[in-house]
């Protein structure tokens, strides 16, 4: 699991950030996949949904074992999430509350309600959040801000990441040279989540503007 692996060539070589990610995996093998998946927590545009099925395809070609692909990608996911958790921990509850209260149309009471919700459902939020595009990169922030016990955070993060990564890695392993199909359909899921987020933000803004006009 520790040696560099050569990722077999595929049709339609990726370019840009995706090409960089694939090149890193070709040169470093499993640790390269861990690095890219981990960076996805800090820089969401990085294509972890591409690297995960590619890791499965590489395992199917004997570059490393399927277990190795799951180990390295999950290690990267957890390591990246821990970095974000520590950033939230350093930021802290009170400082975050003050920053949120300065945002346009947002009240400190909104943060209080969110913090109270996270206190009740934090474990489920971290576990399922690791399996939702966009949210998976940010869910570690409130966990750190609200000082979720680190062992509990690590357990839910590892479990959620392992389930998410296994789906993509195994799909790439089974699809073989057709592994890019996984990333394509994952993109549709991501767009759907983004659309829901945009609509929710729009409804929040409209409601808050109406509240201000009613005062």
- Of 186 and 92, the structure prediction assigns the larger pLDDT to 92
The answer on pLDDT for 74 being more than 90 is yes
For the chain, the straight-line distance linking the first and the last C-alpha, in angstroms and rounded, comes to 63
Instruction: Scan for tokens 């983004």, then name that residue.
Output: 194
- Of 30 and 185, the structure prediction assigns the larger pLDDT to 30
CA torsion 29-33-34-39 (nearest 10°) is 140
What percentage of the chain exceeds 90 in pLDDT? 20
Tokens of 36: 């890219």
pLDDT in tens, 92-129: 888 888 887 777 767 777 778 878 888 888 899 999 98
Q: Centre a 10 Å sphere on the Cβ of residue 94 and count the other Cβ atoms it contains.
A: 9
Instruction: Scan for tokens 């929710």, then name that residue.
Output: 200
Q: Centre a 10 Å sphere on the Cβ of residue 111 and count the other Cβ atoms it contains.
A: 20
| DSSP string of the chain, one letter each residue | --S--PPPP-SS---HHHHHHHHHHHHHSHHHHHHHHHHHHHSTTS-HHHHHHHHHHHHHTTSS-HHHHHHHHHHHHHHHHHHHHHHHHHH-HHHHHHHHHTSTT--HHHHHHHHHHHHHHHHHHHHHHTTSTTHHHHTHHHHHHTT--HHHHHHHHHHHHHHHHHHHHHHHHHHGGGTHHHHHHHHHHHHHHHHHHHHHHHHHHHHHHHHHHH-
Q: Is the dihedral of CA 10, 168, 183, 144 positive or negative?
A: negative
pLDDT in tens, 78-92: 999 999 999 999 988
Residue 55 to residue 8: CA distance in whole angstroms: 10
Assign 157 a pLDDT band (cuts: 50, 70, 90): very high
The answer on pLDDT for 212 being more than 70 is no
Residue 61 to residue 65: CA distance in whole angstroms: 9
CA torsion 166-31-53-75 (nearest 10°) is 20
**What average pLDDT does range 10-37 have in this prediction?**
69
Contact 120/60 with Cβ under 8 angstroms?
Answer: no
- Of 172 and 187, the structure prediction assigns the larger pLDDT to 172
């Amino acid at each position: 699991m520790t040696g560099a692996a050569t990722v077999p060539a595929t049709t339609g070589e990726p370019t840009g950030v995706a090409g960089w990610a694939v090149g890193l995996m070709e040169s470093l093998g499993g640790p390269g996949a861990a690095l890219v998946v981990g960076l996805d927590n800090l820089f969401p545009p990085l294509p972890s949904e591409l690297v995960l099925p590619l890791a499965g395809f590489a395992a199917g070609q004997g570059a490393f074992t399927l277990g190795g692909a799951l180990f390295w990608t999950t290690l990267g996911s957890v390591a990246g999430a821990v970095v974000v958790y520590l950033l939230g921990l350093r930021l802290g509850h009170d400082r975050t509350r003050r920053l949120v209260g300065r945002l346009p149309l947002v009240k400190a009471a909104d943060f209080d309600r969110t913090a109270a919700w996270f206190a009740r459902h934090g474990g489920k939020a971290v576990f399922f959040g690791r399996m939702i595009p966009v949210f998976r990169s940010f869910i570690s922030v409130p966990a750190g801000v609200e000082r979720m016990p680190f062992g509990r955070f690590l357990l839910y993060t590892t479990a959620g990441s392992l389930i998410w990564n296994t789906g993509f890695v195994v799909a790439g392993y089974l699809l073989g040279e057709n592994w890019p199909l996984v990333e394509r359909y994952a993109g549709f899921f991501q767009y759907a989540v983004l659309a829901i987020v945009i609509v929710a933000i729009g409804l929040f803004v409209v409601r808050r503007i109406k509240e201000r006009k009613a005062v």
